[in-house]
Amino acid sequence: MELHEMLKLCLLALDSRFPESYVEVNGTLLGYPGFRAEACSSTAMLEVLRLYAPELLLTPACLVIGQGQSAIYLEEWSEREPAFWVYCEGCTPSQRAKQGKQVARTATV
């Protein structure tokens, strides 16, 4: 799936199609103060952007799901490096690592 739209519409489409998904900011590309370091839902990301970077919501973006990646690119910023990573299965790598540690602790008890 590939959608070329404003960032706001990409996030809304992501919420509609994958409501359990998480979005994480690429802090090296988007260095705005106040952005969450942790991944959050697309609707929560919309709120963060409304507060800290409302101009980004109108930026042309490309939502890519599949083709070996899940990400949102800001077309005016970078076509090679995603501005946001998308986790459609509802679990980010850091959350999986925490779950793995919890399972390992309960297995040793």
34 has pLDDT over 80: no
pLDDT, averaged across the chain = 79
Q: What is the pLDDT of residue 25?
A: 86
Q: Are 78 and 59 in contact (CB under 8 A)?
A: no
Give per-residue pLDDT as tens, 60-80: 999 999 878 899 999 888 878
Q: Where are the alpha helices (DSSP H) in 18-108?
A: 42-52, 93-108
Q: Which of 92, 91, 27, 90 is nearest to 53 (CA)?
A: 27
In which element (H, E) is residue 30 found? none
Tell me the average pLDDT across 2-31.
Answer: 89
Nearest to 72 by CA among 12, 32, 31, 16: 12
Domain count for the chain, please give it.
1
Q: Which residues are within 8 A (CB) of 101 and not within 5 positions of it... i.e. 6 or more apart? A: none
* CA pair distance 90, 32, nearest whole angstrom: 25
Residue 12, domain extent:
2-108
